[in-house]
């Protein structure tokens, strides 16, 4: 615990939704919900206007629609959010070499390591300057917490929301935390909170009163001891500049349970290919292949296989994932599939390619069930009609487009062979809406436009 509040926690306000409102003039000041729009989609972020109706992150999208039927429901644009996040992280890097990103919109900063603050006044000045710079560069707002520990800095940023700054002076922790719910302490989720409630412990003060021995009895030595120290305000975790990735994974939730075994296998192969693409883009290889299957009854199974050495070969990962699928009973249907690679390294063991060739030979000879190629599986999947390419164009709600005549806009909705587009730009007035056939040759997907006219980010700088 530091003697000065020189650990800063930044949390951007309703980040995904705020970015959408900033880029779409017609949505400013209106309820916006970002997330998966399918029957099993969940809310990623809700604007503060939508939160007034009770919508919140991790809520099923169907429930959100019932609570706020007139909100704008948009599919996430992660490349867009990553670009904005990059701008924010660059500003944080100017404060200190010790920046610990937690997500696209959240990070810790060690102000003392950057030499920008060693007391409360300096920390507050740095925090206020950061908020002004974020607004100037991105047009978005962020909330800042300042304290002598990471736990308290995060609590302070929650208190600061939205668009504020809260500084917790060292020495005031016990008074601040006492009557708060135990859920305010990091690591205390719903299950642990309920376990403590049954023991008569609901506030942080009651955690302290119970004592370390009782908490260890209830939760185990590691968890109980950690909870007691944090309840006292003791948190010596340092800000870590580089957080090594432990795994790379991808998963898909399906609108309708998958029943056909061949279709399930095809989806696993596709996920394996996507996982390897992500693995390679991060500059890693991995030794352990993991398959995740959530069945029709919400039971979740994981299976793993550890290879002789790290690989980033899509054939090896695909075949390992298929072998793991053979170990799982999918009777009744599958609602979610995931493929991951862990045990990451920054090199590849070349002799694993021999394993891939051996696996291909086994499949080709018919020895055992083998692993069919994606093309063979695609041909074997029944009841999947071949659709002419012209009708396959899909327009995700909220994504950017450009029309040869009307210019830039975004998809407001689509269906029954039509797509509705609102033509407006970040710096314009709310635009007009027009509807086109989904295969209109003059309508094309587009890169996002910059949020701040005249800012450092131009259209060409945004990734597709």
Mean pLDDT, residues 263-278: 93
Q: What is the distance between the alpha carbons of residues 425 and 26, in angstroms, rounded to a whole number? A: 10
Mean pLDDT, residues 287-313: 89
pLDDT band at 245 (very low <50, low <70, confident <90, very high): low
Q: Worst-scoring range by mean pLDDT, 174-178, 265-269, 457-461?
A: 457-461
Q: Write the Ramachandran bin of 366: left for phi over 0, alpha for psi from -120 to 50, otherwise beta.
A: left
Mean pLDDT, residues 40-67: 93
The DSSP 8-state label assigned to residue 351 in this structure reads T
Select the more confidently predicted residue: 276 or 352.
276
Nearest to 268 by CA among 331, 334, 313: 334
Question: Residue 376 CA to chain centroid, in angstroms?
Answer: 34
Query: What pLDDT, on the 0 to 100 scale, is given for residue 126?
Result: 97
Whether the predicted pLDDT of 221 surpasses 90: no
- Three-state DSSP class for residue 238: coil
The DSSP 8-state label assigned to residue 346 in this structure reads S
Q: Write the Ramachandran bin of 39: left for phi over 0, alpha for psi from -120 to 50, otherwise beta.
A: alpha
pLDDT band at 367 (very low <50, low <70, confident <90, very high): very low
Q: What is the distance between the alpha carbons of residues 93 and 242, in angstroms, rounded to a whole number? A: 12
| Angle, helix 120-138 to helix 78-95, in steps of 10 degrees | 150
- Three-state DSSP class for residue 455: coil
End-to-end CA distance of the chain: 43
Q: What is the distance between the alpha carbons of residues 199 and 197, in angstroms, rounded to a whole number? A: 5
- Catalytic-labelled residue, pool 100, 106, 269, 273: 106
- β-strands 142-147, 7-12 pairing: antiparallel
- Three-state DSSP class for residue 198: helix
- β-strands 418-423, 432-437 pairing: antiparallel
Q: What is the distance between the alpha carbons of residues 464 and 455, in angstroms, rounded to a whole number? A: 19
- Three-state DSSP class for residue 403: strand
pLDDT band at 300 (very low <50, low <70, confident <90, very high): confident
Within 112-260, residue ranges assigned H as helices are 120-138, 150-160, 173-177, 190-198, 204-210, 212-219, 221-231
**DSSP labels, 259-327:** --HHHHHHHHHHHHHHHHHHHHHTT-EEEEEEEEEEETTS-EEEEEEEEEEEE--HHHHHHHHHHHHTT
Strand order in the sheet with 300-311: 247-258, 334-345, 285-295, 300-311
CA dihedral 337, 339, 342, 345 (to 10 degrees): -160
Select the more confidently predicted residue: 55 or 460.
55
Instruction: Report yes or no: 116 and 8 within 8 Å, Cβ to Cβ.
Output: no
Q: What pLDDT digit, counting tens, does each position of 420-443 carry? A: 999 999 989 999 999 999 999 999
The DSSP 8-state label assigned to residue 69 in this structure reads T
- Residue 158 structure tokens: 């929650």
Mean pLDDT, residues 142-156: 95
Beta bridge mates, 422: 410, 433
- Residue 97 structure tokens: 């070499």
- pTM here? 0.71
- β-strands 247-258, 142-147 pairing: unpaired
Nearest to 4 by CA among 124, 96, 114: 124
pLDDT band at 296 (very low <50, low <70, confident <90, very high): confident
- Three-state DSSP class for residue 167: strand
Q: Which domains does the chain have, with CATH numbers?
A: 1-171 (3.30.70.270), 247-380 (3.30.1490.100), 394-461 (no CATH)
Query: What pLDDT, on the 0 to 100 scale, is given for residue 370?
Result: 29
Query: What pLDDT, on the 0 to 100 scale, is given for residue 381?
Result: 33
Whether the predicted pLDDT of 138 surpasses 90: yes
Select the more confidently predicted residue: 322 or 242.
322
Q: In the chain, helix, strand, coil percent, each to 5? A: 40, 25, 40
Q: What is the distance between the alpha carbons of residues 412 and 392, in angstroms, rounded to a whole number? A: 18
Q: What is the distance between the alpha carbons of residues 84 and 262, in angstroms, rounded to a whole number? A: 40
- β-strands 32-35, 72-74 pairing: parallel
Instruction: Report yes or no: 126 and 99 within 8 Å, Cβ to Cβ.
Output: no
Report the half-sphere exposure of 151 (CA within 13 A, side-chain side). 25
Active-site residue, 128 included? no
């Amino acid at each position: 615990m530091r003697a000065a509040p020189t650990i800063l926690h930044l949390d951007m306000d309703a980040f995904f939704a705020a970015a959408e409102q900033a880029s779409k003039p017609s949505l400013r000041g209106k309820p916006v919900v970002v997330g998966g729009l399918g029957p099993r989609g969940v809310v990623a972020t809700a604007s503060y206007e939508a939160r007034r109706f009770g919508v919140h992150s991790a809520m099923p999208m169907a429930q959100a629609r019932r609570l706020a039927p007139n909100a704008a429901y948009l599919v996430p644009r992660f490349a867009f959010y990553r670009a904005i996040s990059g701008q924010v992280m660059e500003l944080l890097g100017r404060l200190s070499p010790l920046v610990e990103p937690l997500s696209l919109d959240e990070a810790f900063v060690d102000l003392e390591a950057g030499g920008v603050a060693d007391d409360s006044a300096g920390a507050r000045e740095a925090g206020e300057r950061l908020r002004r710079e974020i607004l100037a560069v991105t047009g978005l707002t962020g909330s800042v917490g300042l304290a002598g520990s990471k736990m308290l800095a995060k609590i302070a940023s929650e208190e600061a929301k939205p668009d504020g700054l809260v500084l917790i002076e060292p020495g005031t922790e016990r008074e601040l935390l006492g009557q708060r719910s135990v859920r305010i302490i990091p690591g205390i989720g719903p299950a642990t909170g309920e376990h403590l409630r049954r023991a008569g412990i609901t506030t942080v003060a009651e955690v302290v009163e119970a004592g370390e021995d009782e908490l260890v009895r209830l939760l185990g030595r590691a968890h109980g001891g950690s909870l007691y120290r944090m309840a006292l305000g003791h948190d010596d975790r340092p800000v870590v500049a580089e957080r090594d990735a432990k795994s790379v994974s991808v998963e898909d939730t399906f609108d309708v349970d998958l029943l056909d075994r061949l279709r399930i296998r095809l989806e696993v192969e596709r996920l394996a290919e996507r996982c390897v693409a992500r693995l390679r883009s991060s500059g890693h290889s991995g030794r352990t292949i993991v398959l995740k299957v959530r069945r029709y009854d919400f039971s979740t199974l994981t299976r793993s296989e550890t290879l002789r050495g790290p690989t980033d070969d899509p054939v090896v990962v695909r075949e390992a994932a298929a072998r793991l699928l053979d170990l799982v009973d999918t009777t009744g249907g599958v609602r979610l599939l995931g493929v991951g690679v862990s045990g990451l390294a920054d090199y590849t063991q070349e002799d694993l390619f021999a394993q891939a060739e051996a696996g291909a030979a086994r499949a080709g000879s018919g020895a055992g069930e083998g692993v069919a190629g994606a093309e063979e599986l695609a041909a074997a999947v029944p009841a999947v009609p071949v659709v002419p390419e012209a009708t396959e164009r899909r327009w995700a709600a909220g994504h950017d487009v450009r029309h040869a005549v009307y210019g830039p806009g975004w998809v407001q909705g689509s269906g029954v062979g039509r797509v509705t587009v609102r033509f407006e730009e970040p710096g314009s007035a709310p635009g007009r809406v027009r509807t086109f056939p989904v295969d209109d040759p003059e309508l094309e997907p587009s890169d996002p436009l910059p949020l701040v006219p005249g800012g450092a980010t131009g259209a060409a700088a945004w990734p597709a």
